[in-house]
């Protein structure tokens, strides 16, 4: 998704394509983070911390009120 924000701004027609693969990309990134950090994959949330729009918004900062399984604490 790196660099994706600029491409979406330049071509809004890409947004539906990115939304379709967002979850798949997140799961791949989760696995890669686990592999690179050598931490158990369960350390990384099952679901993204925000929507695609939120994650691409540079001024958005997530509220942390969920555990790493995506369930309310």
- The pTM (predicted TM-score) of the whole model is 0.64
DSSP at 49: S
Confidence of residue 3 (pLDDT cuts 50, 70, 90): low
What is the rounded distance in angstroms from the CA atom of residue 18 to the CA atom of residue 72?
Answer: 27
Q: What is the pLDDT of residues 7-48, one digit of tens each?
A: 767 777 877 888 889 999 999 999 999 999 999 999 999 999
Q: Report whether pLDDT(60) > 80.
A: yes
Give the rounded distance of the alpha carbon of 57 from its chain centre.
12
Q: Where are the domains of the chain?
A: 4-56
């Amino acid at each position: 998704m790196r660099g994706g924000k600029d491409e979406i701004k330049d071509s809004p027609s890409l947004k539906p394509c990115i939304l379709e693969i967002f979850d798949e990309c997140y799961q791949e990134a989760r696995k890669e983070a686990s592999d690179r950090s050598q931490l158990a994959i369960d350390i990384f949330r099952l679901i993204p911390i925000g929507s695609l729009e939120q994650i691409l918004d540079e001024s958005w900062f997530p509220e942390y009120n969920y555990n790493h399984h995506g369930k309310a604490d």
